[in-house]
Chains A and B, each alone.
Chain A
Amino acid sequence: MNTVVLLACTGLGLGALYFLVASGLSLIFGLMDVLNFAHGALLSVGAYAAWWAAGDGGMGFWLAVPFGTLVGTGAAVLLELVLIRPLYARPRDQILATVGVGLALPALLMGIWGADARPFPQPAALAGTVRLLGAVVPVNRFVLIGAALLVLLALRLFLARTRYGLIVRAGVEDRAMVTALGIDVRRAFTLVFAIGGAAAALGGALAGLYFGSVNPGQGTGLLIFAFVVVVMGGTGSVTGAAVASVAVGLVQQFANYYTAAGLGDLSVVVLLAVLLLVRPRGLTGRLA
């Protein structure tokens, strides 16, 4: 029982991390048809910014996380304005450009701070454990879950209650029609990139807490699982991404523990292929 609770909490924490990466990825792909291969790099940028702020920047953990999120948001907006927007008429080149950025950014981080994992400072309030149903669970799992729930709530409110949320929803549904109605969708593109970058960077800062360290390849390693979540949840669907990330996180944790190590990762990846083949429309799902 103890093990099951611990695995479930860890799986949910991992799922929360996936959600933070995948929600932005899903919105970006749903609205703009851009599969953002640089999204993992944005996570790494957020993680390193938070790590730097907490250590060398002397900000302390509670300021470092917003700082990391802010830096990641800035990087995402810059990416959209400088690289994605000029290539608007060449969709394949947009993807290739994000591949290039996805290669170059981790290399840049590696060049500045080295390839080795750097220990992430844990604030005393979050370093402990909680007893839950007899199991000893690290607190940081709940921090991740809480952050993901907040982001989910904020995104739902934004999409349902604001004018820009309406434009984003309409754009996912039918971009050409929104443009025909005289609304500049490109502003929504930048906005969606900013939101996605913020969520990913927040995920990066909290991933430092979860894994205990940051390394340049962290984000890219998480990206493939975020792809699985996007496809499973249906593109453009934030709620779908939330459900799918919980499922993927749990499946991965339990399969990794109860069967041979690595089988969980493998099963999730195979799940991606199977889903795409059985339900190819999963990539063009509707907003929910």
Chain B
Amino acid sequence: MTAVLKRWWPLGPLVLLLLAPYSALPLPGLLDGPLGSPGSLQLLALCLLYGALASGYDLLLGRTGLLSFGHALYFATGLYATDLAMLEFRLPFAAAALFGVACSVALALLLGSVGLRVTGIAFSMVTLAFAQAGAILVQRNPGGLTGGEEGRSAPADLLPDSLVGIQHTANLYWIALAHLLLTLAVVHWTASSPTGRVWAGIRENERRVEVLGLRPYGFKLVAFVVAGGLAGAGGVVYLLLTGGATPQAASSDATLALLVMVVLGGSGTRWGPLLGGVLYTWAAHRLGDLATSAAVAGLPAALRVPLSQPLLLLGALFVAVVYLLPGGLARLPARLRAGRTGRTADTAAVPVSEGVA
């Protein structure tokens, strides 16, 4: 019985998530309106989307040990390519979405095959440079394509009717949930495949993998391309959710946010990045609402300043997690358990938190 429970418990939350749009449950403090209201569903969908993006990013960071500072580029590529395919080529949405994801995959393949020629911190900086180049391009609005600072909104006439309008938010929510399930399935499946085992080897010690007669380059490229494709699909979902493409999606802050989510939740764990992404997105939105509320404006400066800046709180929380809780929130239960059973267990828990992180 417990074995069945252990294996299939995620089905419970999944059913609850699937049924959320039909619920009118009020969650005061957590959400503004009742659970099934469009505003709450929109926020929940964004949370699920960023949970999925963080899970996909963790394929690089936690599973393969690649610290990329340019993951937002592939997200933005999916977003902009889909939008522009509809606006410029007048493609129907499904074809445009396929085109967007294909662009992300192609770009990840191209830039990954170039960038992975270097390792370590040099790789991080190459990805940063590529992403920054993308961000500048989007900002500069070449040929009036990207719309510069304002971005371009998606053409409502080319989107299916069931995906436009506030009354159809539930459909968008289900799409975000489907993208999350797809991402989790891909990450789980690839990480437990033979390729995934090589990724784990590369993460632990790349030199040893080479000594075993395997070339890490190809394996790392596969991880990079799969993660890029998942991010591109996330860009399509984001386009639907927000109804347009804006340059913030391509900024280096977007990648740093993903990094914060993954580390907050726990990199290299199955549920950690999802947890981190959901928590971060929810906190950023709720803190943003709080920051502009009248209650905060009336507080003394020592309280008002931190509360009015979500990024300050999240940045401080991030530093605290890095500092005090290596392995992220996902490791918290194991650490608490180890703490309760005494000091011998505490020392035994150290390899766990170091090894799989």
**Is residue A104 within 8 Å, beta carbon to beta carbon, of the partner chain?**
yes
User: A92–B312 Cα gap in the complex (Å)?
Assistant: 21
**Is residue A124 within 8 Å, beta carbon to beta carbon, of the partner chain?**
no
**Is residue A181 within 8 Å, beta carbon to beta carbon, of the partner chain?**
no
**Is residue A255 within 8 Å, beta carbon to beta carbon, of the partner chain?**
no
- The answer to whether A111 and B308 have CB atoms under 8 Å apart is yes
User: A277–B112 Cα gap in the complex (Å)?
Assistant: 12
B118 and chain A: residue at smallest CB distance: A280
User: A106–B253 Cα gap in the complex (Å)?
Assistant: 12
- The answer to whether B309 and A269 have CB atoms under 8 Å apart is no
**Is residue B263 within 8 Å, beta carbon to beta carbon, of the partner chain?**
yes
Give the chain B neighbours of A148 by CB distance below 8 A. Answer: none
- The answer to whether A283 and B121 have CB atoms under 8 Å apart is yes
**A224 and B128 contact, Cβ closer than 8 Å, known pairs A100-B260, A104-B315:** yes
- The answer to whether B309 and A103 have CB atoms under 8 Å apart is no
User: A248–B177 Cα gap in the complex (Å)?
Assistant: 46
**A contact set with B: CB distance below 8 Å:** 33, 35, 83, 86-87, 90, 92-93, 95-97, 99-108, 110-112, 224, 227-228, 231, 260-262, 265-266, 269-270, 272-273, 276-277, 280, 282-283
- The answer to whether B309 and A111 have CB atoms under 8 Å apart is yes
- The answer to whether A273 and B126 have CB atoms under 8 Å apart is yes
User: A260–B136 Cα gap in the complex (Å)?
Assistant: 12
| Closest-CB distance, B329 to chain A (whole angstroms) | 15
Give the chain A neighbours of B133 by CB distance below 8 A. Answer: 266, 269-270, 273
**B contact set with A: CB distance below 8 Å:** 67, 114-115, 117-119, 121-122, 124-126, 128-130, 132-133, 136-137, 139-140, 252-253, 256, 259-260, 263, 301, 304-306, 308-312, 314-316, 318-319, 322-323, 326
**A100 and B319 contact, Cβ closer than 8 Å, known pairs A260-B140, A280-B122:** yes
- The answer to whether B322 and A97 have CB atoms under 8 Å apart is yes
- The answer to whether A265 and B136 have CB atoms under 8 Å apart is yes
- The answer to whether B67 and A92 have CB atoms under 8 Å apart is yes
| Closest-CB distance, B221 to chain A (whole angstroms) | 15
B65 and chain A: residue at smallest CB distance: A92
- The answer to whether B260 and A103 have CB atoms under 8 Å apart is yes
Give the chain A neighbours of B128 by CB distance below 8 A. Answer: 224, 227
User: A86–B324 Cα gap in the complex (Å)?
Assistant: 10
Give the chain B neighbours of A100 by CB distance below 8 A. Answer: 260, 315-316, 318-319, 322
- The answer to whether A83 and B118 have CB atoms under 8 Å apart is no
Give the chain B neighbours of A33 by CB distance below 8 A. Answer: 121
B124 and chain A: residue at smallest CB distance: A35
| Closest-CB distance, B64 to chain A (whole angstroms) | 13
User: A20–B217 Cα gap in the complex (Å)?
Assistant: 37
- The answer to whether A269 and B129 have CB atoms under 8 Å apart is yes
Give the chain A neighbours of B256 by CB distance below 8 A. Answer: 99, 103
- Offer 19 A-B interface pairs, CB within 8 angstroms, sorted by A: A96-B318, A96-B322, A100-B319, A103-B256, A103-B318, A108-B306, A224-B128, A224-B129, A224-B252, A227-B128, A262-B139, A266-B133, A266-B140, A272-B126, A273-B126, A277-B114, A277-B117, A283-B121, A283-B125
